[in-house]
Amino acid sequence: MTLKRGLFRVHKLDGRNSAHPHFSHYIEENLWRSARTTWARGNQANDYQDYNFFTLREWLWTHLGPSKEFRYWQAHGDPNVTPANRSNNDQWCWDTEFGKQRFYVTEETLTLFNLKWM
């Protein structure tokens, strides 16, 4: 897994985001920088973005354990969900709805991310 530093941006969450009570930040690809430093356009640029997303997700999965997409992760607090279907990982999850490619992380996970990727 080799990615350049500076490919990702970190944003602090506030009350406007439904992930806010559980996570403190979200990470997304720094598309502005990628557009300036790569010659790729169109589908090729999308392929690079997907590669970066999957590479970071694999890294988080390996170092922090498995997680789920945010909408499924939210369901783990629902009392109607059986314990077998709940996510036991409260450190991170990802979101790909509506064309977003974000990782929601806790403060501790952000520290680990910063040591590796920033």
Q: What is the dihedral of CA 87, 91, 96, 98, to 10 degrees?
A: 100
Task: Report yes or no on 104 lying in a domain.
Answer: yes
Task: Report yes or no on 2 lying in a domain.
Answer: no
Range(s) of the domain holding residue 33: 8-117
Task: Report yes or no on 88 lying in a domain.
Answer: yes
Task: Report yes or no on 14 lying in a domain.
Answer: yes
Which of 1-10, 40-49, 60-69, 87-96 has the weakest average pLDDT? 40-49
- The top-scoring range by mean pLDDT among 27-41, 63-77, 102-116 is 102-116
Task: Report yes or no on 12 lying in a domain.
Answer: yes
Binned at pLDDT 50, 70 and 90, residue 31 comes out as: low
Give the containing element (helix H, strand E) for 47.
Answer: helix 43-64
Q: How many domains does the chain have?
A: 1
Distance CA 107, CA 111 (A): 6
